[in-house]
Amino acid sequence: MTDLNASIRDIPIPERMRGLPISSQGYPIPWFVPYTRDGAPVPQAACPIKRLRAGRIGLCWCCGGSLGVHKAFAIGPMCMVNRVTSEPANHRECAQFAVRVCPFLRNPRMQRNPTVPEDGKALPPGLMIERNPGVVLVWITRHYHAFRDHDGGILYSLGAPESLSFFAEGRRATRAEIMESIESGIPILREMAEHDGKDALTQLEKQYAQALRLVPQD
């Protein structure tokens, strides 16, 4: 088996994720990753079949195991505002490990790779904001519900959080970093809301104010 990447070697892998294969770059390959016909993983993509299975029967997006009472969603600050995400839930430990080791989430300067092999092509449901937020949070909740977007894709509306953990560059994020990520992203949501009319914009402003109350003070 390939050794872990040196940058994450000191971060313990959760027990549920220890059976995952290790990529040639030295990172655990999440359960949701699709594979090409030749058996090569496509780490920048997500398998649509696994996406459906995870949502329908309550499987962890990272390790593929059954979820318990608490569900952990790894989301960006804009998802904290509208409380909607396209990715299924995780175990708490799996989500917290993922936000600390994922190269995209650890490096604010890394951009999404739009080029994936044919076998891995599958756009996530909803309107994805094409940016690296710089900050990611683990939203722990007992409740959520799935719904379909206008194109038939499945999205998840998040219940009230029981706990929140903010991360930047694989460590705890500062309030300044969290606020910078929110303030740089909210204009994108406002532009989207403007297309839906005055009521949508009013609702967004209420959600924005509610999200700001969740940001830690120190």
**Domain definitions of the chain by residue range:** 6-212
Instruction: Return the sign of the alpha-carbon dihedral for residues 110, 128, 139, 17.
Output: negative
CA 40 to chain centroid, in Å, comes to: 23
Going by C-beta distance under 8 Å and a sequence separation of 6 or more, which residues neighbour residue 187? none
42-67 burial code (b ≥16 CB/10 A, e <16):
bbebbbbebbebbbeeebbbbbbbeb
> How confident is the chain (218 residues) per 10-residue block, as mean pLDDT?
81 95 93 94 91 94 97 95 95 96 73 47 48 87 92 92 94 95 93 91 96 93
pLDDT at residue 111, rounded to an integer: 54
pLDDT at residue 131, rounded to an integer: 60
Whole-angstrom distance, CA of residue 170 vs CA of residue 42: 22
pLDDT at residue 4, rounded to an integer: 86
Going by C-beta distance under 8 Å and a sequence separation of 6 or more, which residues neighbour residue 5? 25, 26, 27
Which is it for strands 163-168 and 144-148: parallel, antiparallel or unpaired?
Answer: unpaired
